[in-house]
Amino acid sequence: MGATPSKNFFERFLHSQSASSVVLIFATLTAVIWANSPWADIYQKLSHLDIGTYFNGKQYHLSLDHWVKDGLMAIFFFVVGLEIKREILTGELSCLKKAMLPVMAAFGGAVVPALVYFAFNPGGPEASGWGVPMATDIAFALGLLALFGRRVPITLKVFLTALAIVDDLMAVLVIALFYTEQINFLPLVIALFLLAILAPIVRNRIRRPVCTFLIIVGVWLCVFLSGIHATIAGVILAMVVPVKATIEPKKFFQTLKKYNGLLKESKMTRHSMITDREQRKAIEQIYLAAEGMIPVGIRLEEMLHPIQAFLILPIFALFAAGVTVDAGMLAAFPSSVSLGIMTGLILGKPLGIMGFSFLVVKMNMSSLPSRVTWGQLWGVSLLGGIGFTMAIFISELAFADAAMVADAKIAIFLASILAAILGFLVLSRTLPKK
């Protein structure tokens, strides 16, 4: 029986995203049930557990849920940054004609829901929530698409992935530009200085793990002190990580040919490679050349995907999704905030994605992906209304009032569920039966 061919990176990416959506749902349900159970006080105490240290007579601490949202989620945003950089340099966003469709679809899917929300909340503290219905949850959207198996054209999956990555990029910009109250520029200057030191260390694969770790922590701390949300540090760090090979293939083959011949001539054995210095040097040069051909960004993305998919996002959901529902909240539901979010996600998101895609194709700026129909694109546009992770994250930045945050989270849950059902029904009718 022949060996099973290994999955390529994109297939592994889809698998981890679809599988992680199940874990994410479980964590979300756990949080909601726990927050509305007789043990709700334990949930609240755990969320607000202070963790920190004393230094020079001062106390530095954050609650556990803030460590998750400001610390662990920085790793999630680091992976998002790597995905964005990879797509821009080598993927679906590397060619203008190919990139135009997902970029404009994502733009429409962000602007239209924001305008819909603003129509319900034109002023007051509620107006700051316009960014909540803008983002698509890639894990849930791809997870639902994976339920159709081989009925889904790979080009449709690639389109949804590229759209969600551009969507994430816009969400990152929105957080950095509009949900930052005051910027302290001195820590940002220090962060840029640290990044200038880190870039050649990563590019040249200099093995100084302690030094590298301290620089990364320093960048995160500087961004945190600057007033910009600390998770943006993850995206900034990803920008200095190469996603292409650091040596040219020609040089790799030259090195391989040179030292491979030397090793063959010296009649290398497992014993001689220990005692012969020239053989060890040749082996080391081949190893370094092969390592240079494997992009650091791709390696980190593959390594961190399972961690962020099966650990970081579920922990975030566990601490962010725990809304305590009481009679007063239900009596006030739906409010203008929840109506704006639900309408934005269920109606605004698919109309924005579909409408801008239609314009781009009709203006000959791009074309529909091969084997993809307008009906299938409409189904994927409806899946774009699954906000969840990023929407919950932005809702906690947008509103200072805890009641508004809770109201927004309920709206996100309901809208995401309805968007998932509608998208599933449309795709089940429009995808090929076999």
Between CA 233 and CA 236 the distance in angstroms is 5
Residues 114 and 164 in one domain: yes
Are 303 and 16 within 8 A, CB to CB? no
80 is a domain residue: yes
Q: Work out the angle between the directed axes of helices 138-146 and 154-178 (0-180°, nearest 10).
A: 170
Residue labelled with tokens 């189904």: 379
What is the tens place of the pLDDT at every residue in 232-253?
A: 788 788 888 888 887 888 888 8
Residues 278 and 331 in one domain: no
Q: Which residues pair with 4 in a beta bridge?
A: none
Residue scoring higher pLDDT (60 or 288): 288
Predicted local distance difference test score (pLDDT) of residue 108 = 93
Residues 239 and 94 in one domain: yes
160 is a domain residue: yes
Residues 380 and 280 in one domain: no
What is the tens place of the pLDDT at every residue in 137-168?
A: 776 777 777 777 778 887 787 788 788 878 87
pLDDT band at residue 5 under the 50/70/90 scheme = very low
pLDDT band at residue 420 under the 50/70/90 scheme = confident
pLDDT band at residue 62 under the 50/70/90 scheme = low
Residues 275 and 354 in one domain: no
Residues 165 and 253 in one domain: no
Residue scoring higher pLDDT (416 or 1): 416
Helix, strand, coil shares of the chain, percent, nearest 5, are: 75, 5, 25
Which residues of 39-170 form beta strands (DSSP E)? 50-55, 58-63
Residues 254 and 333 in one domain: no
pLDDT band at residue 2 under the 50/70/90 scheme = very low
Residues 96 and 122 in one domain: yes
Residues 318 and 287 in one domain: no
Predicted local distance difference test score (pLDDT) of residue 378 = 94
Cα 136 vs. chain centroid, distance in angstroms? Answer: 10
Predicted local distance difference test score (pLDDT) of residue 12 = 59
pLDDT band at residue 80 under the 50/70/90 scheme = confident
The closest alpha carbon to 117, from 333, 336, 335, 329, belongs to: 336
Percentage of the residues of the chain whose pLDDT score is greater than 90: 14
**Mean pLDDT score of the chain:** 81
Residues 128 and 94 in one domain: yes
Residues 111, 154, 100: CA angle, nearest 5 degrees: 35
In this prediction the pTM is 0.70
CATH number of the domain bearing residue 386: 1.20.1530.10
Say how many domains are in the chain.
2
Average pLDDT over residues 276-296: 83
223 is a domain residue: no
What is the tens place of the pLDDT at every residue in 182-198?
A: 778 888 889 889 988 88
Segment holding 12, helix H or strand E = helix 9-35
Residues 263 and 307 in one domain: no
Between CA 346 and CA 133 the distance in angstroms is 9
pLDDT band at residue 353 under the 50/70/90 scheme = very high
Between CA 87 and CA 262 the distance in angstroms is 40
Residues 337 and 265 in one domain: no
| 285: containing domain | 249-291
201 is a domain residue: no
Segment holding 300, helix H or strand E = helix 296-307
Q: DSSP of 227-244, one letter per residue?
A: TS-TTHHHHHHHTTS--S
Are 430 and 378 within 8 A, CB to CB? yes
